[in-house]
């Protein structure tokens, strides 16, 4: 008798639990279906020490540039453009804007030259392309896409990448095209302080000091992550690297898994910050892996990496997930960024997560 | 009354479950403590299509070379050497052996030159160093270690890396030092078949054909992963890349997260195979991430990636975990490899996982 009662109670309890679980699952599906945006885009124009006291005029220049970029991406997505095309076109626009450390406006190397890195990745099949240290290619993001689509390889470097560009239909410029007075001043200040020292002494300092109001000498990378109406994810990143860099230094921007990652099953990510730390922690891939292996949301995964693995000041990421969730997570004082989606989200921000400079 | 009986039964059941769980946990701890080796090492000399019909003499040359390398590592570890030193010294030995596609014996580029890549990583603090496309450095693994220990950067490429070498005390050689007749023949055959084509046509083939008995033209990388007596992990990889490569192609070997990874909390890994696939799947880091985020063993994690994410024929990895577990997992017909640990494990193998050519 006791045995029967217990059995009945346990059975009833099991049925109750199963029912509850099914209801939760069903209500989640409904919520997701109603809330999930048809497309989403996030972009960054670099992270770093960005003083809140910058001139209103300069601040407005950045806000306008971020607006222009996010509007281009949003409009393309609204019209049904493919994720890869949106990534490429928005990055190209930012490469042409001298405010950002990519393409025109890139920081200068120790030898007063420009060495540009970029990468792109297609979340549909994990296909990927990148170039490191190109010197005459106006839009390194486009050359990266050509590496992805026209070769079986992922990464071409320096003189080799220039020879590849010779074979491709891609716009070339004289290196002086990339020159801006602001970056030359940044280099001069960096060299005066010998900020990037690479010697046997072990006494290195890469701290770029504080008197520039926008200190993006290490961080001014641009990057875009997109979910399109077909549910495809893509991401791309482009940079001039670090002011006063030497020795063909390669940062995280052309490294898939570190600076860029896209996988339709999880998310699309572009990183900006101290590239070496992003390589050591495989930041872009790690966020995707946390989502895949723990079921975390994009923002949870990004926070675990940016605020749990990296050190304060290292930088940040922007990303979109396969469900259209947007993340813009950074541990530096500021990150130039913007986001938009099909549900009307449209924002531009520099400092706190809450602000919206729209 | 019924209620009381049910409560008592549920309580008794809970106590039983807790007791069982504790017993299991305790017995696992005992097993691990008694079975955990004090040190462990695994190494590879590349994966690929290795015919079982190779001459006994050639087979014996590889077996002897793998023996020599694993013995060096084992003896150093037995005497208490640090993981990083063991990785560097064993890779140097293999770089000097013309059988392997690293250092002397490296494959030739399309331009009949040698472009060497290497990387090293320290599991203690995730510090990392790498070089891509060096041409006059006898031991690229040693230059990688100098990048890690003497710069704040992770990766230097091509002419930039050569300039860094100029500043370091590292042995330089004339590029002809790396030449071997066998690799020249491989290049000639590859060029006859135009195997690595990089053009607009999209009709690429990198299949190196079948008539060489040991087809390691894509795969002959070397790599070492070590757990030392102090519980520190380190890994390193060195390669000449892919026969007939062009455009400064960078594969996975100098990319931390793809070709090499080490984290004292999880494992140390070195990869060998079609580098592009190892980059797209961030293979070395992904294995570490699966261990970290799901609690999987090293072998489970490696199998999930090599046999679950990659395609058959892509290659494989060797690795050791923080508990001294050794993994040598590959999806190609063969992988030159060896392993040893403090409990007397000492083995050399080429084909099936079961064999031991000791």
Q: For residue A358, tell me if it sits in a domain.
A: no
Where does residue A304 rank: exposed (0-12), middle (13-18), buried (19+ CB within 10 A)? middle
> Do A269 and A261 form a contact (C-beta atoms < 8 A)?
yes
> Which position has the token pair 């992550």?
A225
Count of C-beta atoms within a 10 Å radius of residue A39:
26
Taken in order A144, A146, A150, A156, the sign of the CA dihedral is negative
Please say if A7 is a catalytic residue.
no
DSSP string, B217-273: TTT--EEEEEE-TTS-EEEEEEE---TT--TTEE-STTSBTTTEEE-TTSEEEEEEE
Beta strand A249-250 pairing with B155-157: antiparallel
Residues of A in contact with B294 (CB under 8 A): 293-294
* B120 and B171 share one domain: yes
* B139 and B18 share one domain: no
Identify the pLDDT of residue B51.
79
Residues of A in contact with B280 (CB under 8 A): 126-128, 154, 256
Identify the pLDDT of residue A124.
98
List the beta bridge partners of residue B42: B225, B339
Q: Please give the structure tokens belonging to residue A71.
A: 């509007």
Q: For residue B131, tell me if it sits in a domain.
A: yes
* A11 and A141 share one domain: no
Give the range among A15-29, A186-200, B292-306 with minimum mean pLDDT: A15-29
> The domain that contains A49 carries what CATH number?
3.60.20.30
Domain that holds residue A1: 1-35
* A135 and A194 share one domain: yes
Residues of A in contact with B276 (CB under 8 A): 128, 152-154
ipTM of model over 0.90:
no
Residue A45 to chain B, least CA–CA distance (Å): 22
To the nearest 10°, the Cα dihedral for B55, B312, A252, A273?
A: -140
Quickly state the pLDDT bin for A219 (edges 50, 70, 90): low
* B46 and B130 share one domain: yes
Residues of B in contact with A258 (CB under 8 A): 257
Q: For residue A299, tell me if it sits in a domain.
A: yes
Q: For residue B358, tell me if it sits in a domain.
A: no
Helix (H, G, I), strand (E, B) or coil at A282: coil
A258 contacts B279? CB cut-off 8 A: no
CA atoms within 13 A on the CB side of B321: 22
Residue B1 reports pLDDT greater than 60: no
Q: For residue A354, tell me if it sits in a domain.
A: no
| pLDDT tens per residue across span A52-68 | 888 889 899 999 999 99
Going by the DSSP 8-state scheme, the letter that residue A115 receives in this structure is -
| pLDDT tens per residue across span A322-346 | 999 999 999 999 999 999 999 999 9
Q: Please state, in angstroms and rounded to a whole number, the distance separating the CA atoms of residues A100 and B268.
A: 38
SS (H, E, C) A229-267: CCCCEEEEEEECCCCCCCCCEECCCCCECCCEEECCCCE
A126 contacts B281? CB cut-off 8 A: yes
* A215 and A287 share one domain: yes
| pLDDT tens per residue across span B246-278 | 999 999 999 999 999 999 999 999 999 999 999
Residue B210 reports pLDDT greater than 80: no
The number of domains in chain B is 2
Nearest-by-CA chain B residue for A246: B160
Q: Which of B154, B248, B294 comes nearest A157 by C-beta?
A: B248
Give the range among A240-244, A351-355, B333-337 with minimum mean pLDDT: A351-355
B290 contacts A294? CB cut-off 8 A: no
Of the ranges A52-61, A343-352, B223-232, the best mean pLDDT one: B223-232
* B188 and B219 share one domain: yes
Q: For residue B261, tell me if it sits in a domain.
A: yes
Residues of A in contact with B5 (CB under 8 A): 2, 5-6
Identify the pLDDT of residue B68.
98
Give the range among A26-35, B11-20, B201-210 with minimum mean pLDDT: B201-210
Residue A199 reports pLDDT greater than 60: no
* A156 and A282 share one domain: yes
Identify the pLDDT of residue B216.
63
* B169 and B108 share one domain: yes
Quickly state the pLDDT bin for B53 (edges 50, 70, 90): confident
Q: For residue A99, tell me if it sits in a domain.
A: yes
Q: Which of A2, A156, A198 comes nearest B249 by C-beta?
A: A156
> Do A10 and A16 form a contact (C-beta atoms < 8 A)?
no
Residues of B in contact with A247 (CB under 8 A): 151, 153, 156, 160-161, 163-164
> Do B44 and B337 form a contact (C-beta atoms < 8 A)?
yes
| pLDDT tens per residue across span A67-82 | 999 999 999 999 999 9
Helix (H, G, I), strand (E, B) or coil at A9: helix
Residue B358 reports pLDDT greater than 60: no
* B26 and B128 share one domain: no
More confidently predicted of A128 and A200: A128
Nearest-by-CA chain A residue for B286: A289
Q: Which of A248, A281, A286 comes nearest B160 by C-beta?
A: A248
Q: Please state, in angstroms and rounded to a whole number, the distance separating the CA atoms of residues B270 and B330.
A: 12
Residue B355 reports pLDDT greater than 90: no
Please give the helix or strand (H or E) that residue B89 lies within, else none.
helix B83-96
More confidently predicted of B38 and B242: B38
Q: Please state, in angstroms and rounded to a whole number, the distance separating the CA atoms of residues B154 and B150.
A: 10
Q: Please state, in angstroms and rounded to a whole number, the distance separating the CA atoms of residues A350 and A341.
A: 19
* A42 and A30 share one domain: no
From the list B254, B257, B258, the residue with the least C-alpha distance to B132 is: B254
| pLDDT tens per residue across span B57-114 | 989 999 999 999 999 999 999 999 999 999 999 999 999 999 999 999 999 999 999 9
Q: Please state, in angstroms and rounded to a whole number, the distance separating the CA atoms of residues B48 and B143.
A: 27
List the beta bridge partners of residue A239: A117
Quickly state the pLDDT bin for A358 (edges 50, 70, 90): low
Nearest-by-CA chain B residue for A161: B247
To test the contact with chain B by mutation, choose from A160, A167, A245, A263 the residue with the greatest count of B C-beta atoms within 10 A, namely A160
* A10 and A52 share one domain: no
Quickly state the pLDDT bin for B243 (edges 50, 70, 90): confident
Residue B68 to chain A, least CA–CA distance (Å): 32
CA atoms within 13 A on the CB side of B292: 21
Catalytic residue among A221, A266, A272, A274: A221
Residue A64 to chain B, least CA–CA distance (Å): 34
List the beta bridge partners of residue A6: none
DSSP string, A128-147: EEEEEEESSBS-HHHHHHHH
Catalytic residue among B221, B239, B243, B272: B221
- Using a pLDDT cut of 70, give the percent of chain A over it: 81
Q: For residue A243, tell me if it sits in a domain.
A: yes
Identify the pLDDT of residue B195.
57
Q: Please state, in angstroms and rounded to a whole number, the distance separating the CA atoms of residues A196 and B153.
A: 10
B246 contacts A160? CB cut-off 8 A: yes
Residue B37 to chain A, least CA–CA distance (Å): 27
Residue B226 reports pLDDT greater than 50: yes
More confidently predicted of A320 and B353: A320
């Amino acid at each position: 008798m006791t045995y029967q009662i217990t059995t009945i109670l346990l059975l009833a309890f099991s049925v109750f639990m199963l029912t509850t679980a099914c209801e939760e699952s069903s209500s989640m599906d409904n919520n997701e279906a109603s809330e999930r945006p048809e497309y989403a885009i996030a972009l960054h124009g670099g992270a770093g020490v960005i003083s809140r006291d910058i001139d209103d005029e300069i601040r407005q220049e950045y806000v306008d540039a971020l607006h222009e970029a996010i509007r281009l991406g949003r409009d393309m997505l609204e019209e049904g453009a493919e994720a890869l095309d949106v990534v490429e076109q928005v990055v190209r626009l930012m490469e042409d804007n001298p405010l950002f450390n990519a393409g025109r406006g890139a920081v200068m190397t120790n030898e007063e030259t420009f060495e540009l890195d970029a990468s792109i990745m297609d979340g549909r099949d994990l296909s990927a392309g990148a170039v490191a240290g190109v010197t005459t290619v106006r839009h390194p993001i486009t050359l990266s896409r050509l590496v992805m689509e026209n070769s079986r390889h992922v990464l071409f470097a320096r003189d080799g990448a220039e020879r590849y560009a010779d074979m491709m239909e891609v716009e070339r410029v004289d290196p002086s095209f990339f020159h801006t007075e602001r970056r030359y001043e940044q280099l001069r200040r960096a060299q005066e302080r010998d900020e990037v020292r690479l010697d046997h002494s072990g006494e290195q300092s890469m701290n770029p000091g504080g008197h520039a109001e926008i200190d993006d000498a290490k961080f001014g990378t641009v990057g875009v992550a997109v979910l399109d109406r077909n549910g495809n994810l893509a991401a791309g990143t482009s940079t001039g690297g670090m002011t006063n860099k030497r020795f063909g230094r390669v940062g995280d921007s052309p490294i898939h898994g570190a600076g860029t990652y896209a996988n339709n099953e999880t998310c699309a990510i572009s990183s900006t910050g101290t590239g070496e730390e992003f390589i050591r922690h495989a930041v872009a891939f790690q966020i995707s892996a946390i989502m895949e292996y723990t079921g975390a949301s994009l923002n949870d995964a990004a926070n675990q990496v940016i605020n749990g693995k990296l050190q304060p000041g290292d930088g940040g990421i922007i990303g979109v997930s396969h469900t259209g969730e947007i993340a813009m997570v950074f541990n530096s004082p500021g990150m130039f960024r913007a986001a938009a989606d099909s549900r009307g989200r449209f924002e531009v921000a520099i400092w706190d997560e809450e602000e919206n400079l729209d």
